[in-house]
Chains A and B, each alone.
Chain A
Amino acid sequence: MSANIVLSGSLKFIGLGELLQLLGGNASTGTLTLTRENCDHPGRIFIIDGNPINSEIGNIKGLDALNRLFGWVDADYEFSNESVSCEQVIKKSRMEIILDALRMVDDGEIQIVGETPDNPEAAAVDDADSSYLPVIKGPLIDYIYVVDEEEFSAGKEIVYQEKYGNWFWVILEGKVEVIRLLPEGTAPITRLADGAFIGSIGSFMRKGSLQRSATVVAVTDVQLGVMDYDLLFREYSELSAIWQSLLASLDNRLRQVTTNCAKVILNEYFAQPSIDSLNLWQCPEDEDSIYMIKSGEAVIVRGIENGYIELCALEKNDMLGYIPFLNTSHEPHSAAVYVSQDFEYIPIELTGIRKEYKRMSQTFKNLIKHTTISVSVTTGRLFDVIKAGRFGPQS
Chain B
Amino acid sequence: MAILNLKNNEIQCKIVYYGPGRSGKTTNLEFIHKHFTKQVAGKMISIDTHGDRTLFFDFLPMGLGKIKGCDVKAQLYTVPGQVQYRATRELVLKGVDGIVFVADSLKVRREKNMMSLKDLHENLKKMSIDIRRIPLVLQYNKRDLEKQGFPLMPLEKMEHELNRQLKVPSLSASALTGAGVGKTLSQIMKLTLKYLQKEFHWAQDNSS
A, B assembled together: yes
Tell me the dominant secondary structure on chain A's binding face. Answer: helix
Q: In the complex, which of the residues B12, B42, B85 contacts A103, with contact meaning CB atoms closer than 8 Å?
A: B85
Chain B residues whose CB sits within 8 angstroms of the CB of A102 once the complex forms: 85, 87-88, 91
Q: Is B84 an interface residue (CB 8 A)?
A: yes
Determine if A100 and B87 form an interchain contact, defined as CB atoms under 8 angstroms apart: no
Most buried by A among B7, B43, B84: B84
Determine if A93 and B45 form an interchain contact, defined as CB atoms under 8 angstroms apart: yes
Q: Is A107 an interface residue (CB 8 A)?
A: yes
Q: Is B62 an interface residue (CB 8 A)?
A: no
**Binary interface encoding of chain B residues 1-13 relative to chain A, with 1 for a CB under 8 A from any of its CBs, else 0:** 0010101000010
**Binary interface encoding of chain A residues 91-118 relative to chain B, with 1 for a CB under 8 A from any of its CBs, else 0:** 0010110111011011100000000000
Q: Is B108 an interface residue (CB 8 A)?
A: no
Determine if A15 and B54 form an interchain contact, defined as CB atoms under 8 angstroms apart: no
Q: Is B47 an interface residue (CB 8 A)?
A: yes
Q: In the complex, which of the residues B84, B88, B94 contacts A99, with contact meaning CB atoms closer than 8 Å?
A: B88
Determine if A99 and B7 form an interchain contact, defined as CB atoms under 8 angstroms apart: no
Interfacial residues of chain A within 268-309, with CB under 8 A of chain B in the complex: none
Most buried by A among B45, B90, B92, B94: B45
Interfacial residues of chain B within 25-47, with CB under 8 A of chain A in the complex: 42-43, 45, 47
Q: Is A121 an interface residue (CB 8 A)?
A: yes
Q: Is A27 an interface residue (CB 8 A)?
A: yes
Known contacts A96-B45, A99-B45; A107 and B5 CB within 8 A of each other: no
Chain A residues whose CB sits within 8 angstroms of the CB of B5 once the complex forms: 25-26
Most buried by B among A95, A105, A106: A106
Sample 17 A-B pairs with CB under 8 A, ordered by A number: A15-B91, A18-B91, A25-B3, A25-B5, A26-B7, A93-B42, A96-B47, A99-B88, A99-B92, A100-B47, A102-B87, A103-B47, A103-B80, A103-B88, A106-B88, A107-B49, A121-B86
**Chain B interface residues (CB < 8 Å from chain A):** 3, 5, 7, 12, 42-43, 45, 47-50, 54, 56, 80, 84-88, 90-92, 94
